[in-house]
Structure 1
Amino acid sequence: MADSFLIDNIANYNSLRDKNPILKVVFAVSSLIVSVISSSFLVPLLIALIMSMILIFFAKVPKKIYINLLLVPIFFGIFSFFLMIFLFGDVVWASFEVFGFKINILKDGFELGLLTFSKMVGGVCCTLFLALTTPFTEIFYILKKLKVPESFLEISMLTYRYIFVLLGDTIIMSHSQKTRLGYMGLKNCYRSLGLLMGSLLIKSLDKGDFIYTTLSSRGYSGNLMFFGEIPYPKTSYFVYLFGFEIFLVSLNYI
């Protein structure tokens, strides 16, 4: 739960915070697309390396936090990689026996698993770059400029805000239960968890009504307003960015 607050805090106070968000969104999305469509595992890994270096050395994101955010997706990626080695393909690369069972390592599965793993790492790094350098309010602003339906943006913004409200309540109630030894023993854990979920349900309904009343008292009529303007980046920046992405795509054919 604390990670969600941490990500939002880093997005608002990193060293790339003042850089144009339109440029950051285009850079992250275009790199993500290149990573997904790549036919070579080297290109997504190169994208992951570039994104990681930008986040650590330019955005000044703490290394420990960034590595912790990568650990879970990398773990699942490695798990999928090993499954593909044994399950996908026809060409047997090597084989060995475990408790009398013959297990084959498949060449096609190895290549597919490696490509899938690299795309996953590249995609996660692109997503983390956007999440750790650009506040969500600016992303919503850009989506509105792209003519994304306002109803979708409003629901997304309220959901995003509501997540942090409920996380705050969850942390407070959880700490209160822990100070009263509410999680001592399995029976108490189940009981405390049930009370926590029940209280959160009631609080979510109450806070939903409260937020709607607050918005209505401030003139809310079904359309959230975005204040301020984000300047459009120089055309030369897009030319450099386009050239960089073309270079990455060309690596698939070298």
Structure 2
Amino acid sequence: MPGVLGDIGPGGSPQIDRLTERSARSRSLWSAAFYEHCSGVSRHGPPGPPQPAGAVMEDETMTDDVSEIHLSKQDLREVAAFAATCAEVVLKIFEADQPGDSRPRDAVGAAWEFARGGERGKSLRETASAALKAAKSADTAAAREAAWAAMSAAGAAYLHPLAKATQVKHILGAGAYAARAAELVADDDRSIGAGYLEQTVRHATPTVVDVLKRFPAAPSGGGRVGELIRMLDADLRSLTFAE
């Protein structure tokens, strides 16, 4: 859609004991809220349970006692970079609706900071939370979806090593929300979203596809965004790369 989208252009054990009680509680509440949002649970119904954060082992691999999935820091960085690429394309949709509100852009910036070597921490959590609040202030549905894309980009670093279909939303959520924003700004033209996903697939690295394939296929439900997640999931799983 010319003029609107353009082209898609630590070791050791967990650190919770080093946090104050207030900081640890805040992190837990944020994780629960983010999981609830990504799981599509109604905010008027019972919240989804927070998922365990996993541990970064000495070999920089994330693992969990109940899962055989392993995630290295580099895996997470590449997933975050992919999500940030997806989300930043539609930032202009939000900013056209809410000039001067930098919260979604800040969330994408935090995702890029982690992708380029930063650590997971306060910046990612706080900017993701702020982008979620920005979505609530949006005047249009398209702007809201764009802000959710930014929130998802910052949250991608919190992909957990659990063999659950819902975890796929951490990898693909930013792309699906961005595609939905593109559709809505084009009067709900579904072909625009499909075209956006085609461009998105071309930006997935072999590592992103490999990480995705470690998890079950995307879950059912979730309305149009859920449908877009499943479309993107299927397209990425079909990719093969030369050795």
TM-score, normalised by the number of residues in structure 2 = 0.24
Bigger radius of gyration among the two: 1
Structure with the bigger percentage of helix = 1
Greater RCO structure (CA 8 Å; 6+ sep): 1
